[in-house]
Amino acid sequence: MNKLRVAFYSLTSCEGCQLAFLECEDRLLDILQQVEIVRFREASSYEGGELDADADVAFVEGSVSTAHDESAVRTIRMRSRRVVAFGACADLGGVNAIKNRQGNEAAKERVYGPYSSWIHTSDVRPVSAVVPVDFTLHGCPVDKDELVRYLYALAVGRKPADPTAPVCFECKLRENICLFHKGGTCMGPVVRGGCRAICPAYGAGCDGCRGLAPDPNVALMRTLLREKGLNSEAIRRRVDLFNASAVPEDLRRELTGYA
């Protein structure tokens, strides 16, 4: 059987999702029985061109925020049979997209001060806004077990499962005490799970790194957050952490209460 040819690429990101793959440690040898890694800059000493490989599956980490990102992802798409949006930045725009709400010039000015004219950046977009995406691995960072299941599914020619149950459901299965009962707040009821509620399990409220679950009751979410003392601005910040440009405008208005 031919091994699945897999490439890892990164656009604008912290590269932490690729690290998640490397952290599979004791399973890496098993995985390599099934897949051949053809490009993986973060993990290799290969010094040739990055985008000159043909792959069965390209895991693309990061969002598109520069002209270079955009041309790279187009090249990747052309040379890869399947493209996976790999992690929250690629899936949603992620943390990078916070700047979309501030304006490019203002953001550049704030970060780079007098050198801002050296920087060329566009609005941050998820990979799917630029090229067609076949599958998505959600999360910041991606879940290792889910990644391994994905690789095995792709290796046997199956579409990977993409669970949509909200974080709340998995949080209950894990026997966590609800953060709302502890006096905190959490976006778990309206956010897509698959993470096994890892943040609530360690006492941190969900910030929505996997995007909204299907059919989210955003009006009820807003009511709950308001009851806990979050005003529109606080809710907006919470939403924008990962979903600044990933939540449809009408839902965003309903969620934050902003007109």
Count the helices and strands in the chain (H runs, E runs).
11, 5
Give the Å distances, CA to CA, from 255 to 88, 93, 223, 236, 258: 20, 19, 9, 8, 8
Indicate whether 219 belongs to the interface with another protein (CB under 8 A): yes
Structural tokens at position 254: 């309903």
Strands (E) across the chain are located at 4-10, 35-40, 55-61, 80-86, 135-137
Indicate whether 135 belongs to the interface with another protein (CB under 8 A): no
Among 26, 215, 249, 250, binds another protein (CB under 8 A): 215
- What is the nearest approach in angstroms of another protein to the Cβ of residue 128? 20
Among 14, 129, 178, 198, binds another protein (CB under 8 A): 178
- Choices 30-38, 80-88, 122-130, 132-140 (CB under 8 A): range interacting with another protein: 30-38
Amino acid at 124: V
Q: Say if CB 86 and CB 55 are below 8 A apart.
A: no
Amino acid at 4: L
Q: How many residues does the chain have?
A: 259
- What is the nearest approach in angstroms of another protein to the Cβ of residue 200? 12
Number of residues binding to another protein, judged by CB under 8 A:
40
Indicate whether 177 belongs to the interface with another protein (CB under 8 A): yes
Interaction site with another protein (CB under 8 A): 27, 29-31, 33-34, 149, 152-153, 155-159, 161, 164-166, 168-169, 171-173, 175-178, 180, 188-190, 213-217, 219-221, 224
